[in-house]
Amino acid sequence: MTLNQLTAHEAINLIKKKRITAYEIMQDIFSQIDKVDNLIKAFLVINREEALKQAKEIDKKVKNGEKLPPLAGVAVAIKDIIATRGTETTCGSKILKGFIPPYNATVINRLREAGAIIIGKTNMDEFAMGSSTENSAFGPTYNPWDLERVPGGSSGGSSAAVAADETFVALGTDTGGSIRQPASLCGMVGLKPTYGRVSRYGLVAYASSLDQIGPIAKDVTDCALVMKVISGHDNMDSTSVNLEVPDYLKSCQEGIKDLKVGVPKEYFIEGIDPEVKGALDKALKIFEKLGAKIEEVSLPHTEYSLPTYYLIATAEASSNLARYDGVQYGYRAEEYEDLSSMYQKTRSEGFGSEVKRRIMLGTYALSSGYYDAYYLKAQKVRTLIKEDFDKVFNKYDILITPTSPTPAFKLNEKVSDPLTMYLSDIYTIPINLAGIPAISLNCGYSKSNLPIGLQIIGKHFSEETILRAAFNFEQNNDVEKKKPSIKPAKHKEAKK
Amino acid sequence: MTEKIITKKEVEYVAELAKLEFNEEEKEEFTSQLNSILDYFKKLNELDTESVEPTAYVISMPNLLNEDKVEPSLPREEVLSNSKYVEKGYFKVPKIM
């Protein structure tokens, strides 16, 4: 076994006990990246030199007997939509190619202060718009479990990197499922925090009323560790909430006998893969065995979530993405006649087709004469969706659902039909609309050895409860945890 | 699809608002794709929302305001360093008037 295969909490303990050094960890991490990332293509930028330097500093602290910060020596990969001072941040877009942020996102400063080592930036759907990472301007990322399949998206690079043992943990962002769906498709743990739990300062905005940063990890313990570090109020983000951050790890240690679990019947729609349904049923039995009380519940407005989400998200995106005009940063078209044509040519050459489609949809929904029919209507239905959750959470502590209706799908399978692609986020989208937290973790594997995820949803600011439920399930799941064996795709071998 | 919700002419108008330009083929494709997406969105009209308040932000909390205190901002050179089109400490754009 090489050190990159450890979890973050195992590595932290071994460093503390002086059994291994942070430098040795980094060597194994980078040798894994060298070995597999030409197949996975999870990374856009790799910070080798800086990471090795930071590892040496941590080892010096260990040697001098200094107190170690909570994530000392933990390799973290960062989705390329989070600003990293001095390191290129592209959002997977040609329009930001070469952009070097002059400041760090708050989460980056918090991770650095906690001793984490940022090893690189990960691939993503352009501006987080997508569910497969195929919309990256820099080419797709491949699922470590099957290189002919997508890792999910938009945080596909982050989840593939964790699954392929190229990093211990990663940060992703989740606007409609972009942490949980790729975590599920790659067999990892991914948490979307309550809206306002984690500062969005330095997160390039897609849909500001829905976006949240969260961790993707190999297990629930690592997820809880990272959550503790990145959560909390920040003066730089007026939507970050001033609430105390609980000790997530400690609450994991308690049982779940007291928990009342709701299973929303509307989530078992046509189109759910029978293997996903089967894995979830088995998982629910384990929750029952652990003492949780399980009952069917109803979220009657579920079927309206998708149109509501796409109207709100695209409207906010069309406004947020107006800033890419070629003036202050990023790409500027070479040839244009006047200012207006510079804007048009810059944006038309710089954005990819899904981003343009969403800007068009959002601009239309906000345009004069259509605002009430589309945007305002969607905001009203958002209220109804949120109230559905408020009602069930009066009686239940958590909800359990599948994370995605199918395991990982093949590359090119859904690109030509945007609506089918949007449907892969059907179980994750309502959670962002309600602003509540949810975690996805592995509950089994399909016959063709693809991971299947389940989603645990909680009330506002109840990350403690969903992490506790997830931890208890993880410790008692009778499906043995697997690691992907990364093999070149068959058709590629044939070509050789 | 039964009826056209958005015409090619409207697509051209929205593109103008969004400062995007498309060739003929792209205009046709966007018109057809946006129509099927908007057709699907009509589903929302099934719901009577006459007396429902819209939700813009999901967490109800008081405004959090920072103290009105002058703090250093980013150095000018660093802010300008991401553009190739800089002159005398300013961003350079084509002539406007």
Taking the CA atoms of chain A, what radius of gyration do you get in angstroms?
Answer: 22
- Give the chain B residue whose CA is nearest to the CA of A366: B14
Task: Evaluate the CA torsion angle A474, A475, A476, A477 in order and state its sign.
Answer: positive
Phi, psi of A458 (to 5 degrees): -130, 175
pLDDT greater than 50 at residue A67? yes
Tokens of residue A237, six digits: 């983000």
Q: Chain A within 8 Å of B7 (Cβ-Cβ)?
A: no
What's the rounded Cα separation, in Å, for the pair A238 and A229?
A: 19
Contact between A432 and A175 (Cβ < 8 Å): yes
Domain positions in chain A are 3-256+459-476, 302-388
With b meaning 16 or more CB within 10 Å and e meaning fewer, what string describes A244-260?
Answer: ebbebbeebeeebeebe
CA distances in angstroms from A203 to A163, A192, A226, A330, A356, listed in the order given:
24, 15, 17, 16, 20
Beta-carbon pairs below 8 A across chains A and B: 156
pLDDT band at B1, cuts 50/70/90?
very low
A3-256+459-476 to CATH, choices 3.90.1300.10, 3.40.190.10, 3.10.105.10, 1.10.240.10: 3.90.1300.10
Please state whether beta strands A117-122 and A75-79 pair in parallel, antiparallel, or not at all (unpaired).
Answer: parallel
Contact between A14 and A23 (Cβ < 8 Å): no
Question: Which H or E run contains A190?
Answer: strand A189-192
With CB atoms and an 8 Å threshold, state whether B44 touches A307: yes
What's the rounded Cα separation, in Å, for the pair A398 and A351?
A: 40
With CB atoms and an 8 Å threshold, state whether B33 touches A303: no
Which chain A positions have a beta carbon within 8 Å of B21's beta carbon?
Answer: 344-345, 348
With CB atoms and an 8 Å threshold, state whether B49 touches A344: no
What's the rounded Cα separation, in Å, for the pair A450 and A351?
A: 33
Which of B20, B43, B67, B71 to mutate: most A Cβ within 10 Å? B20
* A347 or B4, which is more confident: A347
Which of B22, B27, B37 to mutate: most A Cβ within 10 Å? B37
pLDDT greater than 80 at residue A492? no
The reply to whether the predicted model has a pTM over 0.90 is yes
Q: pLDDT digit string (tens) for A376-431?
A: 999 999 999 999 999 999 999 999 999 999 999 999 998 877 778 888 899 999 99
Least Cα distance to A312 among A208, A392, A387, A179 occurs for A208
- So what's the pLDDT on residue A317? 98
Q: pLDDT digit string (tens) for A219-250?
A: 999 999 999 999 999 999 999 999 999 999 99
Mean pLDDT of B42-50: 96
- So what's the pLDDT on residue A393? 98
With CB atoms and an 8 Å threshold, state whether B20 touches A347: yes
- So what's the pLDDT on residue A490? 62
Contact between A122 and A46 (Cβ < 8 Å): no
Which chain A positions have a beta carbon within 8 Å of B37's beta carbon?
Answer: 310, 361, 418-419
Residues 18-77 of B with CB under 8 A from A: 18-22, 30, 33-34, 36-38, 40-41, 43-47, 49, 52-59, 61, 63-66, 74-75
What's the rounded Cα separation, in Å, for the pair B67 and B3?
A: 55
What's the rounded Cα separation, in Å, for the pair A456 and A70?
A: 26
Which chain B positions have a beta carbon within 8 Å of A386's beta carbon?
Answer: 55, 58
Residues 307-326 of A with CB under 8 A from B: 307-308, 310-311, 318, 322, 325
Give the CA count within 13 Å in the CB-facing half-sphere of A20: 21
Contact between A89 and A101 (Cβ < 8 Å): yes
Contact between A448 and A412 (Cβ < 8 Å): no
With CB atoms and an 8 Å threshold, state whether A342 touches B11: no
A50, A52, A54, A56 alpha-carbon torsion, rounded to 10°: -150
Sheet containing A293-297: order of strands: A43-46, A117-122, A75-79, A169-174, A212-217, A189-192, A438-445, A451-458, A398-402, A260-264, A293-297
pLDDT band at B66, cuts 50/70/90?
confident
Contact between B4 and B35 (Cβ < 8 Å): yes
